[in-house]
Structure 1
Amino acid sequence: MAGIGFFEKWLSVWVALCIITGVTLGNLFPSLFEGIAAIEYASVNFIVAILIWAMVYPMMVGVDFASLKHIGDRPKGLILTIVVNWLIKPFTMAALGVLFFEYVFADLIAPKDAQSYIAGLILLGAAPCTAMVFVWSQLTKGDATYTLVQVSVNDVIMIFAFAPIVAFLLGITDIVVPWQTLVLSVGLYVVCPLLAGAITRHFLTNSDQAPNAEQRIESFTAKVKPFSVLGLLATVVLLFGFQGQVILERPLLIGLIAVPLIIQSYGIFAFAYGAAWAWRVPFNVAAPCALIGTSNFFELAVAVAISLFGLNSGAALATVVGVLVEVPVMLSLVAFANRTQNLFSRPEK
């Protein structure tokens, strides 16, 4: 990809090094990471929020508001997003949780603990991603405007569907949605960088410094994209640093929880990506569509797990493992999508 070069070419290597660095630093300087983790409100960490800003902002500059009115002319990506995220993903995650923790891993985990881990997986499965999707879309050169609409539709549906789906799957009727977490996350991760991107785009397209507006936008985003990758790498260090001690103290348990999460991620991606290919959805819409269905809104899942089951519960741990698994898995899927984009060269029907 143009604009990042060296950093992006070896991104998987940098992420691996950042994972090792995060775990190491988290164990060597636990008080430092505890202090950083405490800089939060409603389960939203402000340091991570700033880093996500750095990741998301370059793509937001590419959002063309004038083309929003034409999104309805290409409904297939939105339909797939809705079907995968709300009619398939929560239920396959619940099924995988039951399969592995009540049967496959039954001899390794106490039944009471198993139910707690299943609950955490369900919370992850019912919370589609809001922020990191923009990063994955950017890495696959996704349509920035369409991705924004897909995420916005998911956020609106989440307001009404998250609690009922979780209540149904957990068998708990008094699910309380942490509105502060939901609203703050959407505001920080979507609205604020979107406004910043819109202001930047307005300045670039109304400047007399260059003859072509699109060239100015491409030139600007190429310059700031390296900060997006650096933001991603710093986020990986922090996320693994926050849980560095748990990873080393309970590696087997972390591995067991990761198994259904990894299977779910690759399975959902395969379904969405394959459906988009069969339906002849363009690659710049198909890739983000599949990645949206694979990624999770972990802030919301963690907040609900803590409020329902407690900070030290198995459900809270499962949601945290979801955070740890997501970045490496998503990067592997981004790489796969980029290598197979030529399969989407057929015209859309």
Structure 2
Amino acid sequence: MSQATVEPTEQDVLHRLSFLDRFLPVWIIVAMAAGLGLGAVVPGLQGVLDAVKIGQVSLPIALGLLLMMYPVLAKVRYDRLDTVTRDRRTMVLSLVLNWVVGPALMFALAWLMLPDLPEYRTGLIIVGLARCIAMVIIWNDLACGDREAAAVLVALNSVFQVVMFGVLGWFYLDLLPGWLGLASETVSFSPWEIALSVVIFLGIPLAAGYLSRRVGERVRGRDWYEGTFLPRIGPIALYGLLFTIVVLFALQGETITSRPLDVARIALPLLVYFAVMWAGSYALGKAAGLSYSRTTTLAFTAAGNNFELAIAVAIGVFGVTSGQALAGVVGPLIEVPVLVALVYVSLWLRRRWTT
């Protein structure tokens, strides 16, 4: 890397984030407060929402979840999947970190730190199974990672999740606890419910995102699609997320206000998870001889999670008033500020990187 390269400053990082992304934790906290207030003034809200359902999920919530997922998946460059084999080290390391190490680490942390809270524990395990998608590209770009590699790994993870999420959900939520003698404390569920939720809330927006890119680029070109169309639909994901959070906290207000320490207990394993995954991935990339840009991409794609999918699956399988759904919502509240902080750490490491 040229020594003449201008190093981004902290101000550069903040200004390269959009206004909505920069204050995402603030919007989430405001949505939580709005939900608690709404639940207090509209006690019959759940009956209204349950008037029309798609499976076990009310129609308004289902639409919010689908809108939350679509813009994120419309950003993925699916045509780059065929380039993933060019750097086998990065590909193999990413797959192992995302689909072996990440879920196993979250499973261990959830059981160690939440042994007496099975619903929250299950929600955290679901977060660990929901691997990174398009939002991680933001953190990767800010930290001067390899954009091409990030696009490929995000596309790979997006497709891989449709196939593997249900399988890994069955393994970590049912099979493995039984092997370890922990089955008596697990929460009952059907693996098919998880698979169905993934098909609906990931499969449908994934197909829509893929078709949007194919049709948009063919008709108007990539510059228009990425420079005009994506910025227009991007905020829809945030609106869907905030709507879901408002509804969830409106329906869970009494539980949340009566047990405020539960949120802190959910946050602790998440903090440990993000720190360990990111630092471990950095160390592994360095040991494997990867460049700074590839190592940074490896670290952020391993540490980031698809919290939109985790929330959708938790609500689809366990319901909007479940502890699993609450644990999913705490995910982005912790992940966003932590990964922004890790961007600064990455840029500090970049100045000291030797290959």
Same fold (TM over 0.5): yes
Matched-pair contact (CA < 8 Å) for 1:22–1:239: yes
160, 176, 180: which one aligns with 1:153: 160
The answer to whether the Cα contact below 8 Å between 1:127 and 1:297 also exists between their aligned partners in 2 is yes
Q: Deviations over 1:17-37 (max 9, x none)?
A: 122112221232232145336
Alignment-mate amino acid for residue 239 of structure 2: L
Structure 1 pair 15/72, CA: closer, same or farther in 2 (3 Å)?
Answer: same
Which residue of structure 2 aligns with residue 111 of structure 1? none
Q: Give the 5 Å matches for 1:136-285.
A: 136-137=135-136, 139-140=138-139, 143-166=150-173, 167-170=175-178, 171=181, 172=183, 178-207=190-219, 213-272=222-281, 275-276=284-285, 279=288, 280=290, 281=294, 283-284=296-297
Structure 2 residue aligned with 1:108: none
Work out the CA distance in 1 between the residues paired with 2:101 and 2:315. 21
State the Cα distance separating 1:77 from its structure 2 match.
5.1
- Normalized against structure 1, the TM-score is what? 0.72
Task: Give the Cα separation in 2 of the matches to 1:56 and 1:237.
Answer: 17
User: Aligned-pair distance for 1:258?
Assistant: 4.3
One-letter amino acid of the structure 2 residue matched with residue 169 of structure 1: P
Aligned equivalent of 1:14, options 27, 31, 34: 27
Deviation at 1:46, TM superposition (A): 4.3
Letter in 2 for 1:121: R
2:302 matched residue in structure 1: 289
Residues 72 and 242 of structure 1, relative CA distance in 2, 3 Å threshold: farther
Over 3 Å counting, the alpha-carbon distance change for 1:252 and 1:165 in structure 2 is closer
The residue correspondences of 1:82-93 to structure 2 (distance < 5 A) are 82-93=95-106
Q: Is the CA contact (8 Å cut-off) linking 2:74 and 2:213 kept in structure 1?
A: yes
- Deviates further, 5-14 or 297-306: 297-306
**Structure-1 separation of matches of 2:49 and 2:188:** 27
Please say if residues 37 and 45 of structure 1, whose CA atoms lie closer than 8 Å, have aligned partners that are also in contact.
yes
Over residues 265-284 of structure 1, what are the superposed CA-to-partner deviations in whole Å (9 max), with x where a residue is unaligned? Answer: 44444434554566533545
Match of 1:66 among 70, 79, 96: 79
Secondary structure in 1 matching 2:44: helix
List alignment gaps of at least 5 residues for structure 2: 1-13, 142-146
Q: 1:260: Cα distance to partner?
A: 3.6
Between the aligned partners of 1:3 and 1:53, the Cα distance in structure 2 is 27
Matched residues in 2 for 1:8 and 1:230: separation? 12
Distance 2:312 2:72 in 1: 21
Q: Which runs of 5+ in 1 are unaligned?
A: 103-113
Q: Counterpart of 2:304 in structure 1: which amino acid?
A: L
- Find the aligned partners of 1:213 and 1:33 in 2 and give their Cα distance: 43
The change in CA–CA distance for 1:193 and 1:101 in structure 2 (over 3 A counts) is: closer
Letter in 1 for 2:169: F
In structure 2, relative to structure 1, the CA distance for the partners of 1:151 and 1:206 (3 Å cut) is closer
Could you tell me how far apart the structure 2 residues matched to 1:182 and 1:298 are? Answer: 12
What is the RMSD computed on CA atoms of the aligned residues?
4.1
Change over 3 Å in CA distance of 1:224–1:126 after alignment to 2: closer
Secondary structure (helix, strand or coil) at the match of 1:206 reads helix
Tell me the distance in 2 between the aligned counterparts of 1:223 and 1:46: 24
The total of aligned residue pairs comes to 324
Aligned mates of 2:245, 2:31 — CA distance in 1: 6
| 2:137/2:151 contact within 8 Å kept | yes
Q: 1:39 to 1:260 in 2, by over 3 A?
A: farther
**Given that residues 19 and 240 in structure 1 are in contact (C-alpha distance below 8 angstroms), is that contact kept between their aligned partners in structure 2?**
yes
Q: Would you say the 8 A contact 1:56–1:193 is kept in 2? A: yes
Q: Is the counterpart of residue 36 in structure 1 residue 49 in structure 2?
A: yes
CA deviations 1:72-111 (Å, max 9, x no partner) are 2244555445434554445544544555467xxxxxxxxx
**Cα pair 2:133 2:157 within 8 Å, conserved:** no
| Structure 2 CA distance for partners of 1:337 and 1:34, relative to 1, 3 Å | farther
Q: Tell me if 1:335 matches 2:340.
A: yes
How far is 1:153 from its partner? 2.5
| Counterpart residue identity of residue 37, structure 2 | T
SS at match of 2:76: coil
Aligned-partner residue type, residue 237 of structure 1: V
How much does 1:291 deviate?
A: 0.6
Q: Per-residue displacement from partner, 1:30-88 (whole Å, max 9, x unpaired)?
A: 32145336755555554344234333333433333332111222445554454345544
| 1:136-164 deviation line (CA, Å, top 9, x unaligned) | 33543574443131143344334444334
Identity %: 21
How far does residue 331 in structure 1 lie from its aligned partner after superposition?
A: 1.5
Distance 1:194 1:292, change over 3 A: same
Cα contact 1:282–1:344 (8 A) shared by 2 = no
